[in-house]
């Protein structure tokens, strides 16, 4: 998708320097991928906070089961 956006040139140059990415497109795509990755991590962390804790006995639950 072709899009025109106004981006701080100093920020682009710093990103280019520290990442080694050559093009603005690569820098923007890497930034978006990182943004999505972090947002997904937050979603997972939020989800785990909502799970009930398990208070069973793992050894007891394994009795009588065959494991390979």
The full 3-state SS of the chain, as one line of letters, equals: CCCCCCCCHHHHHHHHHHHCCCCHHHHHHHHHHHHHHHHHHHHHHHHHCCCCCCCCCHHHHHCCCCCC
pLDDT at site 52: 80
On the question of pLDDT at 58 being above 90, the answer is no
On the question of pLDDT at 68 being above 80, the answer is no
To the question of pTM greater than 0.75 for the whole model, the response is no
pLDDT tens track for 5-46: 999 999 999 999 999 999 999 999 999 999 999 999 999 988
């Amino acid at each position: 998708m072709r899009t025109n956006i106004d981006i701080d040139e100093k920020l682009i140059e710093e990103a280019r320097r520290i990442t080694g990415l050559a093009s603005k497109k690569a820098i923007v795509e890497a930034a978006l991928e990182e943004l999505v990755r972090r947002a997904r991590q937050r979603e997972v962390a939020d989800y785990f906070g909502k799970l009930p804790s398990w208070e069973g006995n793992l050894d007891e639950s394994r009795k009588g089961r065959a494991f390979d």
